[in-house]
Amino acid sequence: MGSFPDISTEIGLYVKNIVDFLDDSLEGLFDFIALMSSRTINGIEDFLVWMPWWSFILVIFLLGWYFKTVFAGVLYGFFIFLIGTFGLWEDMMTTIAIILTAVLICLIIGIPLGVWMAFSKGFSTVMRPLLDAMQTMPSFVYLIPAIFFFGLGNVSAIFATLIYALPPVIRLTELAIRGVDKEVIESAQSFGSSRWQMLRKVQLPQALPTIMAGVNQTTMMALAMVVIASMVGAQGLGEQVLVSINRIDIALGFEAGISIVFLAIIIDRITNGVAGKFQKHRGVN
């Protein structure tokens, strides 16, 4: 009785050759990406650490007040204050810097891709299986190419987070553009609007609330990678969770874990509030 055909060695060799080729031929690009990502993270972190602690809490309070309620602003400010009392202030700033950088890159890449998918069925057909794979692949797998191309550190965390968090904003941007009322589009066409004018003045404003929902989901998924990314040398709150596991330190694990929960609540509520403001503005108009 013959054994089952095994082609894992051939596939593994093929994948290794592709990765080696990319690493050799695109070394300059990877170095540029690493440099820009590192400078962005460090710049945001330095600015946040430079801010007086009370001014940062005030900013969080004002955001909560404007986008939600006064009580929400007070609660979010209290959450930030608690994280500071845990001795995790600088770790929180590092985590915020990583998340902001990852989300910014996701939006720069994701929104144009979503618009392209909305206008091109062929491109959408090609992209959807890739997005499915990006969302369903175990997130730990993303750490392997991140380490290979960028080594250990925050840049690898950005790369892994980017792959994991990118699909929602692409999908929801496409859905939002496709969901714009056809009568509105026909009206714009009847006035002689070009495709660019129609996209900029009609479709994007109409689709903005749904796109903001995609931004919210992308941000939350980026935050979900905080602990996993610490395994490739990312600093911040995720690193403290990893340290607490290695030391079996329940107190540190609870403090770092609840701090991530606090950040998740604040980010989720504020981004939802932003989407709600856009929705109300659109309703008024």
The CATH number linked to 166 is 1.10.3720.10
Q: Is the pLDDT of residue 177 over 90?
A: no
109 within domain boundaries: yes
- pLDDT category at 227 given cuts 50, 70, 90 is confident
157 within domain boundaries: yes
Distance of alpha carbon 11 from alpha carbon 23, whole angstroms: 18
> Computed from CA positions of residues 247, 250, 255, 256, in that sequence, does the dihedral angle turn out positive or negative?
positive
238 within domain boundaries: yes
Instruction: Give the residue from 19, 156, 183, 28 showing the smallest Cα distance to 101.
Output: 156
195 within domain boundaries: yes
Phi/psi of residue 94, each to 5°? -65, -45
pTM (two decimals)? 0.82
Number of structural domains (the chain) is 1
232 vs 130: which has the higher pLDDT: 130
Residue range 210-221, pLDDT digits in tens = 888 888 888 888
106 within domain boundaries: yes
74 within domain boundaries: no
149 vs 251: which has the higher pLDDT: 251
69 within domain boundaries: no
Q: Which residues contact 30 (CB under 8 A, 6 or more apart)?
A: 23, 149, 150
Tokens of 103: 């989300």
What range defines the domain where residue 265 resides?
8-50+86-284
79 within domain boundaries: no
The predicted structure's pLDDT at residue 238 = 84
